[in-house]
Structure 1
């Protein structure tokens, strides 16, 4: 699980920059169209939660404590929930929410494996 935490942390931090830029572009388009959608705001929140999850993932990669996996589950799970429920015209948000969902599921797996080893 150490390798998963390192790789997912690095990728999440890289994806943060991409999601944030896309969300800003979608925000400008939503403002110009006066569509009233909140997909760009949801994208920014998903990006921030993805960044926080990536940092926590890298910082706790050597730790086998339950708290780190629970924190990852909450951060990535909340990001996935926000993204899937508010994607609107920003359809790429479903891809990033899928990435967060994968990380949340793997945090559950790490949590389950950690409790069996203890």
Structure 2
């Protein structure tokens, strides 16, 4: 599970920049088109929450407690909760919200799964 948290945390950090770029474009489109949508701002908030969740996953991947997973669950579910209803014309926001929802579910599952201890031996 430690490797999975490292990989998904790094992916979140990388995807944040893509979401930020798309959100800026969506926000400019919303403003120029005077649509009254807030999908650009919602994408910005999702990106920041996704970045925070990714950082939490990377930093707490080796921690023995469950606090890091609980924090990541809250951050990812909050990001999905912001993204899904505010997608509007920014349809990629639904994809990023689904990514956050999946990561939130995986972190929730990791709370209940007990990792095996190899006794300090290398499995390879």
TM-score range with shorter-chain normalisation? over 0.9
Q: Partners in 2 of 1:112 and 1:98 — Cα distance?
A: 22
> Would you tell me which structure has more helix in proportion to its own residues?
1
* Aligned ranges 1:63-102 → 2 under 5 Å: 63-102=63-102
SS for the counterpart of 1:85 is coil
Q: CA deviation digits over 1:9-58, x for unaligned, max 9?
A: 00000000000000000111111101110010000000000000011110
**Total equivalences in the alignment:** 116
Number of the residue aligned with 1:18: 18
* Aligned ranges 1:1-118 → 2 under 5 Å: 1-114=1-114
Q: Partners in 2 of 1:67 and 1:60 — Cα distance?
A: 8
Deviation of 1:73 (Å): 0.3
The normalised TM-score by structure 2 is: 0.90
Deviation of 1:85 (Å): 1.3
Q: Partners in 1 of 2:4 and 2:82 — Cα distance?
A: 23
Q: Partners in 2 of 1:10 and 1:53 — Cα distance?
A: 10
Number of the residue aligned with 2:121: none
Q: Partners in 1 of 2:65 and 2:86 — Cα distance?
A: 33
Q: 5+ unaligned residues in a row in structure 1: which ranges?
A: none
Q: Partners in 1 of 2:84 and 2:64 — Cα distance?
A: 30
SS for the counterpart of 2:61 is coil
Deviation of 1:64 (Å): 3.0
Q: Partners in 2 of 1:79 and 1:111 — Cα distance?
A: 19
Q: Partners in 2 of 1:22 and 1:7 — Cα distance?
A: 23
The normalised TM-score by structure 1 is: 0.94
Q: CA RMSD in A?
A: 1.3
